[in-house]
Amino acid sequence: MAVPKRKQSKMKGRKRRTHYTALTPTVVKCSNCGEPKRPHHVCLSCGTYRGRQFLEPAV
């Protein structure tokens, strides 16, 4: 079994982790109710998408 010859340096590990970024969820404003919603998704507060009603609006 292959075994690493040297301990990986702190810098090596840190450099790799520079690509780890926290995922920021994209939010857009709903065109129907103005609430923040995910793009290309049915609005969860009013239940519409592209002007059509898909879900029961939340009360």
Decide: is 33 part of the binding site for Zn ion (CB under 5 A). yes
On whether the CB atoms of residues 27 and 43 are closer than 8 A, the answer is no
Of the pair 16, 34, the CB lying nearest Zn ion is at 34
User: What is the nearest approach in angstroms of Zn ion to the Cβ of residue 48?
Assistant: 6
Of the pair 5, 56, the CB lying nearest Zn ion is at 56
User: What is the nearest approach in angstroms of Zn ion to the Cβ of residue 4?
Assistant: 53
Measured CA distances, 12 to 4, 6, 7, 15, 23 (Å): 14, 12, 10, 5, 23
